[in-house]
Amino acid sequence: MNDQDVRTLEKLAVGVAREAAELALAVRDRVVGDGSVADLPTKSSATDVVTAGDQECEALIRERLGALRPDDVVLGEEGGADAEPAAGQVRWVVDPIDGTVNYAHGLPWFAVSIGAEVDGRALAGAVVEPVSGRVWSAAAGHGAQLDGRTLRASALTRPGVAVVATGLNYDPDRRARQAALVSRIAGRIGDVRRQGCASLDLCSVAAGWVDAYYEHGLHHWDWAAGALIAEEAGAVVRRPSVTDADGLGLEAVLAAGPGIAAELAELLRSLGASGL
Ligand code: IPD
Ligand code: CA
């Protein structure tokens, strides 16, 4: 795929994500109503809620991608994989609403995330925040932007003062192990953030708003677009891996400014990240 093609995929991802973001906002009041989330249906655990917003946004995204790019395949949080991609085929990886718990509780920190990849390699991505209207995007080899402004990850070189974002899993046992790691690392870095939206955590790394982000147990759609955006902004990005050769845990995603990435990875390893 040539340069022009990856830019075209980026533009398309932005356009479709923008449209879905408008829909997410339009249906939010009906979906979250009085702010009570106790009656919403759940998926993997009692706190893993799914709203009509998630479902309607994914349906819209699938419809638009299907019309614009009928030869591609889609993997989405709500609808799963429509087909395995063939060699060289574009696969769209879609999180219709990342940060569903925030969305359902009325917090503004959620996003539509759409990534495009070929043969497992990220080529383009868009993350759009419905509430602020912020548009984050990247195309492989062309850098990352926030509303047209080029992004640069943190240049910090001292992990001891780094602000590090993380996330916690829906599975309560895993969440407790993750919280234990947070308690071990908290005194060794500058501060910790848990914002509740993995794609925006990765975008925050791209912008240098946080110096790093790590989380274990994300799904592909949580990181597909954001990891490319962070990487294109100059962050060092570690995606889930098939081996644990680096001792970070098979399912670890780590994105960090280049000046702290190696030391932070070593710190996470030494504090037991592979056990998460
Ligand atoms: C979740 C969010 C959260 C992260 C979880 C994800 P969802 O995605 O990104 O920040 O900690 O691991 O599953 O369920 O809101 O799409
Ligand atoms: Ca998600």
Long-range contacts, 25-32 (Cβ 8 Å, 24+) = 25/130, 25/131, 27/52, 27/53, 27/56, 28/53, 28/103, 28/130, 31/103, 31/104, 32/103, 32/104, 32/105, 32/106
Residue whose Cα lies nearest atom 5 of ligand 1: it is: 169
**Taking residues 71-81, what's their average pLDDT?**
95
Residue 95 near ligand 1, beta carbon < 6 Å: yes
pLDDT of 31 strictly over 80? no
Give the model's pLDDT for residue 113: 98
The topology under which CATH files domain 159-275 is D-Maltodextrin-Binding Protein; domain 2 (3.40.190)
The pLDDT confidence band at residue 36, using thresholds 50, 70 and 90, is low
- Of all helices (H) and strands (E), which one includes residue 141? none
pLDDT of 107 strictly over 80? yes
Residue whose Cα lies nearest atom 13 of ligand 1: it is: 218
Over residues 179-193, the pLDDT tens digits come to: 999 999 999 999 999
Residue 203 near ligand 1, beta carbon < 6 Å: no
Over residues 84-103, the pLDDT tens digits come to: 999 999 999 999 999 999 99
As a whole number of angstroms, the distance between CA 101 and CA 216 comes to 18
pLDDT of 37 strictly over 70? no
Give the model's pLDDT for residue 30: 79
Residue 229 near ligand 1, beta carbon < 6 Å: no
Residue 99 near ligand 1, beta carbon < 6 Å: yes
Do residues 151 and 145 touch, judged by C-beta distance below 8 A?
Answer: yes
Residue limits of CATH 3.30.540.10 in the chain? 3-150
As a whole number of angstroms, the distance between CA 220 and CA 93 comes to 7
Q: Which residue has the higher pLDDT, 123 or 242?
A: 123
The pLDDT confidence band at residue 254, using thresholds 50, 70 and 90, is very high
Rounded to the nearest angstrom, the distance between the alpha carbon of 110 and the centre of ligand 1 is 9
Give the model's pLDDT for residue 44: 75
As a whole number of angstroms, the distance between CA 229 and CA 74 comes to 20
Q: State the chain's mean pLDDT as an integer.
A: 94
Residue 100 near ligand 1, beta carbon < 6 Å: yes
Residue limits of CATH 3.40.190.80 in the chain? 159-275
Whether domain 3-150 has CATH 3.40.50.2000: the reply is no
The pLDDT confidence band at residue 52, using thresholds 50, 70 and 90, is confident
Give the number of the atom of ligand 1 that is nearest the alpha carbon of residue 222: 9
